[in-house]
Amino acid sequence: MAAEIHELNRALEAFDRRNTPAGLLVRYARGRLRYFFSRQALTLFGAMVLAFSVSLQTGLLAMSVAAVGELIDSYLLRGVEKQLNRGVPVQDLLRKTAVSAFAQALGLSAFVAILWLAIPREAALLLCLAYMGAGAVNAIMALAYHRTAAYTRLVVYGVTVTLLFVADFYVLHYQREQFFYNIAATLMVAYTMLPFVSYVTTGRLRDLRQQRRQIEQGLALAKANASLLERQREGRRLSSIAENADDSIIMLDADAHTLWVNPAFTRKTGYKLSEVVGKHPTDYLHGPRSDPAILNLFNEAVRTGVPAHGENVNYTKIGAPFWVETNLSPVFDEHGNLEMAISVDRDITLKKQRETELAEAKRAAEQGERAKTAFLATMSHEIRTPMNGIIGMSDLLNEANLNKEDALYVQTIRHSSEALLTIINDILDFSKLQDGHLKISSIAFELQPCLDEVMNLMRPQAHAKGIALKADIADNLPRTVWGDDGRLRQILVNVIGNAIKFTESGDVHVHVGTVEEGPDHGLEIAVTDTGIGIPPDRIETVFDQFAQADAATTRRFGGTGLGLAISRQLARMMGGDVIATSSLGVGSCFVIQVDFPEVNLPAKRAVNPDVLPEPEVFDGATVLLAEDNRTNRFLVQKLLKDLPLTLVTAVNGKEAVDMVEELRPDVVLMDMSMPVMDGLDATRFIRNRMAAQPHIIALTANAYRSDRQACMEAGMNGFLPKPVRRAELLKAVAKGLESRKLSTSAR
């Protein structure tokens, strides 16, 4: 079929090529050259007539003039094809060959003129007319190929005949009647030729058009046949795909009635084609768990002829449910009307099962994570409450007049509980970091006092081990910066604490400067020690959670392996990092970088933790302590014992509210979790319903940021996490009294 189309295409191309101006010119030239000798035979015949009837010279003369014209014409026509191939424009060649046709026609006319003049009048007319007629017929034959040449010839012949008649009349004084008869005969001949001219011009054109149409029709027919064959083949292919597909295929008519189903459908559902044909899929596929919204979607899609996609539960013949993913595509006829819809159903039961399992696993993991966080928070709270007692009591004991040995015991208790508190804090921080609850809060603070505070805190530890703790601070350090001072202090305490912990002799050196490369406002603190060092293959793992350089270290020095993991994460949250370099047996260097921009705001006043408020501040004040734990009540009583204030206690929130009403205390120290009424409810009650408005300070083991926020939202003024130190407690109470005084004087 393809070969036939190719053949017809070629025929069409050849046809068009033959009928372009160039093609027609070539055919004209070939035709003229083909009949060259027949034409010469005719002229030779005339020349011979002249030679016999007039003279040999006259015959030769006539033959020569005709031949000259013919030769000029034929010479030019022979070169036409070659010149066209060389690219000579066809218009040029048409012009040239029209001129040569003129030459040829002139030659023939001269030949006829000699005949006309040389032979007797009566014989001449017929002979000459025969030649002129033959010439004219010849010219007309070429009309379709070279119109200019044809008309040139006809004009020359017409003019020649006219001239010969005129010559007859005037020069030879021919008889008038005969002249008119000759004219009439000539006109008759010309007239009879007109239909011929018309045929050659319009008739030929019609023929050409007819021929072309025939080729075109043949071609169209061949193409239609080819496309039909292709469609048949495609149809066979598609039906074999549908027959062998793994997905179920359902063909529906425009009213969503089943036309056909494939074998995969039967395998999956158990329904044969005969059982479902003519039925709506809803009638045989759907059941209790099928989603009606999806069914409506598909019904609507078939009705409106738009594609649809969806997932739903289908049922087999025996009622077993399975999940399918359905793609519904409309099929339209050639007029654009919906002919049918094809629904391809893929079984996705396994995928759905996996999704459910994953969702279940995710839910369980989240639940586990929540349980872990809740457990850590509770554990931290539960441990903090007794720790408050231990630390507070050892503080009190420290102030008693103990002998040297007892004092040492008390200090040991104190240090051990501090260490335990660090661990609790680390675990709490770690759990907060894990679930993303840990936040960095920035304020403007003075750098130097913050650094001094850390050094003062760490110095006794270093001193106890006989290690020198030195610090040098660069001159160009900004005075006030924007950042989280508490978290910076936490990182420093951890890294400097490690340096002291892992150094037996020598010194720990802290250099504070600005970062030369990296963040614009980088602060860089390098802590260098002369300690045990870290093996090169462990240098990065020490930053992992619960990771230590080696197990022996843990046994010797203790620790949880959380400090560096927390420090690095905190530093990263503050736009920096913690980086370690170390040499085993020589020492380590931990570089802390944080991004703290310099600010010109008034900074947070540096608090000196060692300076206690003057006792007069508390003169005449009434402080109410609401606390259900007896040890803690006892502890606070002892911490405030030598001050000129009245301390009253309540064991739950309800009692506290009543005592506020009755005694109108200046400051309330409010525990958060208490029986009957908790601290938050009691505070809300006081703030919303009572005339007396004391300064309320939360005193609690709940150390989460959210707890602090809850206290503030309930209307408290301060927050003291347990375990409470004496200095902090005194300062918080003093601050409360001061703010009360200010508000009273303002009123």
Residue 564 binds ligand ADP, judged by CB under 6 A: yes
Position of minimal CB gap to ligand ADP: 559
Residue 529 binds ligand ADP, judged by CB under 6 A: yes
Residue 621's CB is within 10 A of a number of other CB atoms, namely 20
CB of 426 to ligand ADP, least distance (A): 7
Residue 532 binds ligand ADP, judged by CB under 6 A: yes
- DSSP three-state, residue 439: coil
Among 560, 581, 646, 739, binds ligand ADP (CB under 6 A): 560
CB of 507 to ligand ADP, least distance (A): 12
CB of 160 closer than 8 Å to CB of 113: yes
Give 281 or 531: the residue with its C-beta nearer to ligand ADP: 531
Pick from 214, 189, 203, 90: nearest CA to 144: 203
CB of 666 closer than 8 Å to CB of 623: yes
Among 135, 561, 576, 721, binds ligand ADP (CB under 6 A): 561
- Give the separation between CA 15 and CA 347, rounded to whole angstroms: 60
Residue 553 binds ligand ADP, judged by CB under 6 A: yes
Residue 578 binds ligand ADP, judged by CB under 6 A: no
CB of 466 to ligand ADP, least distance (A): 17
- Residues near 350 by beta carbon (within 8 Å), at least 6 away in sequence: none
Number of residues that bind ligand ADP (CB under 6 A): 21
Pick from 642, 640, 644: nearest CA to 616: 644
Residue 559 binds ligand ADP, judged by CB under 6 A: yes
Give 202 or 416: the residue with its C-beta nearer to ligand ADP: 416
Residue 108 binds ligand ADP, judged by CB under 6 A: no
- Give the separation between CA 731 and CA 31, rounded to whole angstroms: 128
Residue 528 binds ligand ADP, judged by CB under 6 A: no
Residue 723 preceded by cis peptide, ω within 30: yes
Residue 588 binds ligand ADP, judged by CB under 6 A: yes
CB of 553 to ligand ADP, least distance (A): 4
CB of 563 to ligand ADP, least distance (A): 3
Burial letters for 368-400: b for 16+ Cβ neighbours within 10 Å, e otherwise? eeeeebeebbeebbebbbbbbbbbbbbbbbeee
CB of 200 closer than 8 Å to CB of 144: yes
Give 559 or 575: the residue with its C-beta nearer to ligand ADP: 559
- Give the separation between CA 473 and CA 155, rounded to whole angstroms: 120
- Residues near 445 by beta carbon (within 8 Å), at least 6 away in sequence: 480, 481, 483, 485, 603, 604, 606
Give 299 or 560: the residue with its C-beta nearer to ligand ADP: 560
Pick from 653, 645, 673: nearest CA to 729: 645
- Give the separation between CA 628 and CA 640, rounded to whole angstroms: 18
Residue 544 CB burial class (10 angstroms; 0-12, 13-18, ≥19)? middle
Among 498, 569, 702, 717, binds ligand ADP (CB under 6 A): 498
Scan residues 369-408 and list those touching ligand ADP (CB under 6 A): none
Among 563, 576, 679, 723, binds ligand ADP (CB under 6 A): 563
What type of residue sits at position 626?
Answer: A
Residue 549 binds ligand ADP, judged by CB under 6 A: yes
Among 548, 632, 649, 700, binds ligand ADP (CB under 6 A): 548
Give 136 or 471: the residue with its C-beta nearer to ligand ADP: 471
Q: Which one of 249-257, 545-553, 607-615, 678-686 is the stretch in contact with ligand ADP (CB under 6 A)?
A: 545-553
| Residues across the chain | 747
Binding site for ligand ADP (CB under 6 A): 494, 498-499, 502, 529, 531-534, 542, 548-549, 553, 559-565, 588
